[in-house]
Amino acid sequence: MSLIPIEDMARALELEIIYDGDRKAIDLQTSDINRPGLHFAGFFDYFAKERVQVLGKGEMTYLYQLDPVIREERLEKFFGSGLPCVLVARNLETPQYLIDSAKKYKCPLLLSRKVTSIIIHDLINYLDSELAPRITRHGVLVDVYGVGILLTGESGIGKSETALELVKRGHRLVADDAVEIKKVAENRLIGDSPELIRHFMEVRGIGIIDIKAMYGVGAVINTKAIDMVMHMEFWDSNKEYDRLGLVEEYTEILGVKLPKVDLPVRPGRNLAIIVEVAAMNWRLKHMGYHAAKELDRRLNALIQSSCED
């Protein structure tokens, strides 16, 4: 269960707060919504009372036409079940009997100007994002040629300096030092920066710099899907690094497998160019071209040809 601030939801979805339920946030455990037409008709079996309840023109018209005694009885059962909140769509006039029932059970009541289908779509997308599993990782997230690359590694290895060089080369910074990652779908992770440090970067020897102010709005982006992880480590002469790329390595974050590249760091290596190449290579693979496999195919064809001769 997560707490969704009422004012934040109202601001994000352009809602009017008719009654806030004398609380600051709404307890929710699912992004699904419910339209309570059957329940207003008296059928309360399988009532999804844990969901946000959305009232459209059909539900509001049906309530209006009900006998006042029956309507009061149905609203008592409806609001008395402990709803997270009720949202009225299409900017429909909210009758006093609905407001009184909401106040009696301290249930937040919201109003949207949008048509029912659109506000339902927007609400589900918003709740999917807000209720998504999340984790904070130490690292730097950059957008390179449209590919979201998470740079990881121990403190002081050069992640921020690499990201700064990438920004100078026309790419975009998402987050520096702390990356908030949330799982918005079965195999999709979105990364962004904590609001407090958004667009800021720490450069050792200089201090804190504002990337947006220094390089312009085109140098930053608030959120980005994470497509691959590049782990930076100091060059170890005793370690055998992959030189062909035939074997794919992966790492797992929040249950999602991501391609992983170990990036050895030593003086003289231009890490920004290597990150750019990794991004372009990732895109080529997704377009069906794998350079290492193509070279392997050519070598096998040459060997086969030599054997036949």
pLDDT digits (tens, 9 = 90+) for 192-247: 999 999 999 998 889 999 999 999 999 999 999 999 999 999 988 787 777 777 78
The kind and range of the H/E element at 141 are strand 134-144
Q: What is the mean pLDDT of the chain?
A: 92
Nearest to 79 by CA among 93, 92, 91, 63: 63
pLDDT digits (tens, 9 = 90+) for 238-252: 877 777 777 889 999
Domain regions of the chain by residue span = 2-130, 134-283
- With a cut of 60, say whether residue 275 has pLDDT above it: yes
pLDDT digits (tens, 9 = 90+) for 10-51: 999 999 999 999 989 999 989 999 999 999 999 999 999 999
Domain 2-130 is found in CATH 3.40.1390.20: yes
pLDDT digits (tens, 9 = 90+) for 69-123: 999 999 999 999 999 999 999 999 999 999 999 999 999 999 999 999 999 999 9
Residue 119: what pLDDT? 96
Tokens 């459209």 belong to 56
Can you tell me whether residue 66 is helix, strand or coil? Answer: coil
- Tell me if the pTM is above 0.85: no
Tokens 């029912």 belong to 116
Can you tell me whether residue 221 is helix, strand or coil? Answer: coil
Q: What residues are labeled active site?
A: 138, 159, 177, 243
Please provide the CATH number assigned to the domain covering 134-283: 3.40.50.300
